[in-house]
Structure 1
Amino acid sequence: MSAHRSAPAPAAAPGPPPRPTRRLVRTVTVVASCLAVLAAAVVVGVRVLGQEPAVTLLANWTGHDEQNFRKAVIEPFERKYHIRVDYQGSSAESQVLGADVEAGTPPDVVVLTGPGELAQYARQEQLAPLEDLITRDDFGPSWATPLADGHVYWFPLKADVKSIVWYPDGVGPQQRRKAAHRPAEWCVGMNSGATSGWPGTDWIEDILLQQSGPRVYARWARGDLPWQSKQVERAFDTWRGLVGGGGDRDLVRRALTTPYLEASEPVTDSPRGCTLEHQASFIRTQESWRRVHGDYEPSGRLIPGATATGAWEVSGDLVALLHSTPQAKRLIRHLASAGAQRAWNASESGFSVHADAQPAPGAAGSAWHRSLAATLLDEEAVHCFDASDAMPPSVRDAFAEATIEFLAHPAHVKTLLRSLDTLSDTPGLTWVPSVCDGTP
């Protein structure tokens, strides 16, 4: 569904001349220089017709999620404020944003999954502070985290729970315990194009959290606990035992080559090709889990050596402001509002952690969605942000690559961890100061 096209925005007060659109600049950069004059003429024509977007927004939602986002969040904003939103959805948003920033044409507003990446942009003075535009008390401390300069640069629009294991309806507790000790019963897909390996980082992070607790996890996520520590190495070894790294070569090959969105497809086979999937809450919307009426249980019940209670790894799509224009600031206030967050939450494309955005008890919707929504707002639980997403981008990417190498060659673990320690000690890296609720 295409975005609602409302009337053109009213004329703005005098100010700096409008900058060229990001797509135009990218086009001029890539194609031959002889097309520049034609491209500029197109921009002039668009402006004359009054069709130039008033605010640009880059996020990673495409397909069904993009349709939900447009219908639930963007279109109501456009209708209410008569400000058009030029939305670009890309699964390679980090690369797109990096190219736009380098070209000097970043979007007005961006939604990224990594606070580590946003912290780096904040350090480069690419982001505008948000504390005057949002109410921090609407979000928990692990979601709208101030950096060392005291400013808040992001807030969550969408959240997910990661410390969970999915299974088909009718698979009882005893069956799940047995399946957890059989590597072939795990649905594993490590392939994700340029970002392959991140499902492995989720595994390692959650195992470390469940075995060693939030304090150890938080120290590691902010660069204070060495990769070569016994706790981190134990997490790697536990993962190898669960999914069969270095054992059944066919099993490892399948895990390394399977796209993560296809990992659960064998769960619908007869007999089943796999039974359990350690994956974030968003995977429940996949057709395979819909068909088998998938349910979940906390991962700590199935991870060997787990001792933490009430600790959940979480992730989020975080909103940040790059150009503090009146239209962009209005969009920020809208995205942070309970109404917009509630509308996005109701679509089952994700969850909101806004204090006033959750559905009332007894509201319509699936039981699994209501249960996970309550988990995200449980004030007695400890929520720890995805550690690799909070790490500096260079460390995050190396960690993802290391999980692939480790799954194929587990004997290389000490070399891999030593290399990650060396990289983490690189001067000038920006680490997020806090990733867990109430954990120093």
Structure 2
Amino acid sequence: MSAHAGGPATAAPGPGPRPARRLVRTVTVVASCLALVAAAVVVGVRALGQEPTVTLLANWTGPDQKNFRRAVIEPFERKYRIHVDYQGSNAESQVLGADVEAGTPPDVVVLTGPGELADYARQKHLVPLDGLVDRDEFGTSWATPLADGHVYWFPLKADLKSIVWYPADVGGQQRRQAVHDPAQWCLGMGSGATSGWPGTDWIEDILLQRYGPDVYARWARGDLPWGSKQVRDAWTTWYGLVGAGGDEALLRRALKTPYRSASEPVGATPRGCTLEHQASFIRNQPVWQHAEGRYEPSAQLIFGAPANRAWEVSGDLVALLHDTPQAKQLIRYLASAEAQRAWTTQESGLSVHAGVEPAPGEAGSDWHRSLARALRDEGATHCFDASDAMPPAVRDAFAEATIEFLAHPTHLDALLRSLDTLSDSPGLTWVPSVCSAP
């Protein structure tokens, strides 16, 4: 029983407990009826279109979608009285393309590819974010101005990619021996319509660590041929590390395994693999949680470099397709430190917002805070995932080529010639910048 405004609650008058129970039942029934009426009013208002609604398409499904709803969407709805009609899809590029062609695109979209977004901006499907988002809160590799000077996207969630995961009980000497054993690499190339991208991550990171951000950026902009010595060397180095075209059992495992299942052999007895070259999000997989997964920079582990030349990074990028008041309000909110902090606090992702730098004593896992600091390290260069920054046709062909190369390494020259021909096609949109200088 709650206290009254003037002081402590008093007992209801009456000869005994029966009237009190009757009163409780009456109050409960009335309260329930009022709740039902309130819910009916909310549904009715939405049905009549009187509550502002914003449509949002993103790639989060399952637990990620639940976390996103709880941490980000629901607080926004409560605060601004704007309903978010959320659609999560693992094939969001295809869904968005179909919606745009039908003339029914969502108000706001979250995509992983700046190259894809740049193409939509060129076709005038995106609304510039000038006045809605402060680009200084993120940085040029995250909120990239296009040739027209406008910024069309910003990151809601970021990930670090130039890392290798290993179980906590695998020592340094064991890791350095495992690097040279293809059987010790956990590799799964499957990802539905986007299968092959784990291979592109490998090749991109090798190029970045061996030749530096300038060469990497030239290639990602379409200015360095696929047949160049540097790019070709990245492919053949990957070949040697993972045993492309070699052991049939390893090859079959890599080609048939979905990327989310690649680390399952870590939990087997005996272990089937001990190292995984994968982005920071993979740490939330149960097998890595059970193994207390730790990470080492790929530059140190694979190449013996004393420090990273640069980090490869990726992100889930937010863009605006409809210039409505409620859509713009959602954009402002998603770009705010409040929303970005709520998302990263759940350890569902990391934020690069200038106002969300993790403090040393902040609650959370050590590995999560460590990754966040690496993403925010002002002394390092951060380069966006090159294939995600490429035009969609080139990105998709690159992913398919990694699968072909894994099975048939002798096809490399033909694959690189084909990618060069495609990259020279007229009408492609290339992102002007993918790396941020320290």
Q: Normalising by the residue count of structure 2, what TM-score does the alignment of the two structures yield?
A: 0.89
Q: What residue in structure 1 maps to residue 211 of structure 2?
A: 212
Q: What residue in structure 2 maps to residue 22 of structure 1?
A: none
| CA distance in 2: counterparts of 1:68 and 1:274, whole angstroms | 30
Q: What residue in structure 2 maps to residue 406 of structure 1?
A: 405
- Whether the 8 Å CA contact 2:394–2:423 is kept in 1: the answer is yes
1:217–1:296 CA distance, 2 compared to 1 (3 A): same
Q: What residue in structure 1 maps to residue 126 of structure 2?
A: 127
Q: Deviations over 1:147-202 (max 9, x none)?
A: 00000000000000000000001111110000000000000000111110000000
SS at match of 2:223: coil
| CA distance in 2: counterparts of 1:181 and 1:226, whole angstroms | 29
1:7–1:334 CA distance, 2 compared to 1 (3 A): farther
Q: What residue in structure 2 maps to residue 12 of structure 1?
A: none
Q: Deviations over 1:54-84 (max 9, x none)?
A: 1000000011111111111100000011000
1:84–1:276 CA distance, 2 compared to 1 (3 A): same
SS at match of 2:435: coil
Which residues of 2 match residues 253-292 of structure 1 at below 5 A? 253-292=252-291
Q: Percent identity?
A: 76
Q: What residue in structure 2 maps to residue 422 of structure 1?
A: 421
Which residues of 2 match residues 87-166 of structure 1 at below 5 A? 87-166=86-165
| One-letter amino acid matched to 1:132 | G
| One-letter amino acid matched to 2:392 | P
| CA distance in 2: counterparts of 1:290 and 1:437, whole angstroms | 32
Gaps of 5+ in 1: 10-44
Q: What residue in structure 2 maps to residue 181 of structure 1?
A: 180
| CA distance in 2: counterparts of 1:6 and 1:369, whole angstroms | 42
- Whether the 8 Å CA contact 1:209–1:308 is kept in 2: the answer is no
- Whether the 8 Å CA contact 1:55–1:86 is kept in 2: the answer is yes
- Whether the 8 Å CA contact 1:185–1:273 is kept in 2: the answer is yes
Q: Deviations over 1:208-229 (max 9, x none)?
A: 0001100000000000000000
1:73–1:334 CA distance, 2 compared to 1 (3 A): same
1:383 correspondence with 2:412: no
| One-letter amino acid matched to 1:399 | F
- Whether the 8 Å CA contact 1:310–1:380 is kept in 2: the answer is no
| One-letter amino acid matched to 2:381 | V
| CA distance in 2: counterparts of 1:8 and 1:53, whole angstroms | 12
Alpha-carbon offset, residue 302 of structure 1: 2.5
Q: What residue in structure 1 maps to residue 193 of structure 2?
A: 194
Q: What residue in structure 2 maps to residue 66 of structure 1?
A: 65
Alpha-carbon offset, residue 250 of structure 1: 1.4
Q: Deviations over 1:326-347 (max 9, x none)?
A: 0000000000000000000111
Alpha-carbon offset, residue 303 of structure 1: 2.4
| CA distance in 1: counterparts of 2:41 and 2:432, whole angstroms | 44
Q: Which moved more, 1:187-196 or 1:306-315?
A: 306-315
| One-letter amino acid matched to 2:355 | D
Q: Deviations over 1:251-304 (max 9, x none)?
A: 111100001000000001111000000000000000010110000000112324
Q: What residue in structure 2 maps to residue 233 of structure 1?
A: 232
1:383–1:273 CA distance, 2 compared to 1 (3 A): same
| CA distance in 1: counterparts of 2:102 and 2:51, whole angstroms | 20
SS at match of 1:316: strand
1:51–1:170 CA distance, 2 compared to 1 (3 A): farther
| CA distance in 2: counterparts of 1:48 and 1:234, whole angstroms | 59
Which residues of 2 match residues 326-345 of structure 1 at below 5 A? 326-345=325-344
1:411–1:146 CA distance, 2 compared to 1 (3 A): same
| CA distance in 2: counterparts of 1:427 and 1:344, whole angstroms | 40
1:269–1:50 CA distance, 2 compared to 1 (3 A): same
Q: Deviations over 1:83-138 (max 9, x none)?
A: 00000000100000000000000000000000000000000000000021011110
Gaps of 5+ in 2: 1-38
Alpha-carbon offset, residue 359 of structure 1: 2.6
* C-alpha RMSD over aligned residues: 1.8
1:57 correspondence with 2:64: no
| One-letter amino acid matched to 1:281 | S
Q: Which one has the largest radius of gyration?
A: 2
Q: Which moved more, 1:50-59 or 1:248-257?
A: 50-59
Alpha-carbon offset, residue 321 of structure 1: 0.1
| CA distance in 2: counterparts of 1:300 and 1:6, whole angstroms | 58
